[in-house]
Amino acid sequence: MRALAVADGAVEVTTVPDPSPGQGEVVVAVHSCGICGSDVHGVEQGRPALGQVLGHELSGTVVAVGRGVRAARVGDAVAVNPLGACGRCEECSRGLSFRCRAVPNVGLGAPGGFAEYVRVPAGQLYELGSVALEDGAHAEPLAVALHAARLAGARTGTRAVVFGAGPIGLSVVLALRALGAAEVVAVGRSAGRRRAAVAVGADVVVDASSADVDAFFTEHAGHFDAAFECSGAETAFELLVGALASDGRLVEVALTRQVASISLAELLAKNLHVAGSCAYGPHEFADSLALIASGTVDPSPLVSARLSLDEAPQAFVDLRRPKDLVAALVQPWRPGPRAR
């Protein structure tokens, strides 16, 4: 089969063996797989192993079923939770299945969804029901956002600011709206992503590439109940601390190597709460899919490109400086440019 494999600072289309299901596993024909910022920056920084097939935001159709699988059948339309979990270790017992070392994560430790087919443990499948195949690929980033929003205690009436309007930041806006937030402000650099922030429900969108961002945070000092750092920008953490009201909650969502500086005096004086939010639990994956199924969340404004495998390597380059690009879906069934 054809797949995208990590090369030196890039991804390239290659041919790898077709997967076959083992005990308790299925093979899924991939319909859609989102390119996550962690994929883009990981490749740019040379972190994934050469030859690794990435892709962890995926949906598709079951095409083969291994021994002992009873809950899945050939033809089932599914979303794939990429996070493996044994359900028995200490991390799993704490609800931190993404830290389980017993089962490799799809698209990280195990081959992922930037391929025609992917092998998945059957317990990591969620039937789509009425959800369109393409929309099933949004369950994973929405679960990330839902976990972060719940860590912040978001509920009806919450006033929130989201710093960073990439796909995860935009998913946080969607999650906040689903939880009943009264006011949502998004801060972003890309014009296309700022437009998407309006489309998914942000009340105010601030251009982070202009001086207006400093003026905005000065004007709204102490205003917000919850703040989400989704950009990895070095200065964002300090700005968000200033924007929070007393007893507010700041959640770091971006995977970044930046070292933030904050005023510890302000942190203490305002009784602020700071949390790191990584991934999600199985219940949040199920909840995110239910929000899409009910129509409470419409993820379609996030998609600005649908790509064949042949088009995807360039998207990994373009997404480093996204301009008008918001989120890109790799759809391996699409013919490449030469075949059209």
Note the pLDDT tens digit of each residue in 112-170. 999 999 999 999 999 999 999 999 999 999 999 999 999 999 999 999 999 999 999 99
Task: Print the SS3 string covering 109-130.
Answer: CECCCCECEEEEEHHHEEECCC
Q: Which CATH number fits domain 2-138+299-339: 3.40.470.10, 3.90.180.10, 3.90.1150.10, 1.10.150.120?
A: 3.90.180.10
Domain with CATH 3.40.50.720 in the chain: 144-276
Query: pLDDT category, 323, cuts 50, 70, 90?
Result: confident
Residue type, 174: L
**What average pLDDT score do residues 54-61 get?**
98
Q: What is the per-residue pLDDT across 188-212, written as a single tens digit (0 to 9) for each?
A: 999 999 999 999 999 999 999 887 8
Residue range 256-266: mean pLDDT, rounded: 79
Threshold 0.85, pTM exceeds: yes
Residue 173 has pLDDT above 70, yes or no: yes
Q: Give me the percent of the chain exceeding a pLDDT of 70.
A: 99
Mean pLDDT rounded to a whole number for the chain: 93
Give the model's confidence band at 29: pLDDT under 50 very low, under 70 low, under 90 confident, else very high. Answer: very high
Give the side-chain half-sphere CA count within 13 A for 166: 24
Whole-number Å distance between alpha carbons of 323 and 17: 36
Position 197 scores a pLDDT of: 97
Instruction: Give the per-residue pLDDT at 338.
Output: 56
Q: Which of 40, 302, 256, 286 is nearest to 147 (CA)?
A: 286
Q: Which residue spans of the chain are classified as CATH 3.90.180.10?
A: 2-138+299-339
Please give the backbone phi and psi of residue 7, each rounded to the nearest 5 degrees, phi first.
-115, -160
Fold of 144-276: Rossmann fold (3.40.50)
Provide the pLDDT for residue 234: 83
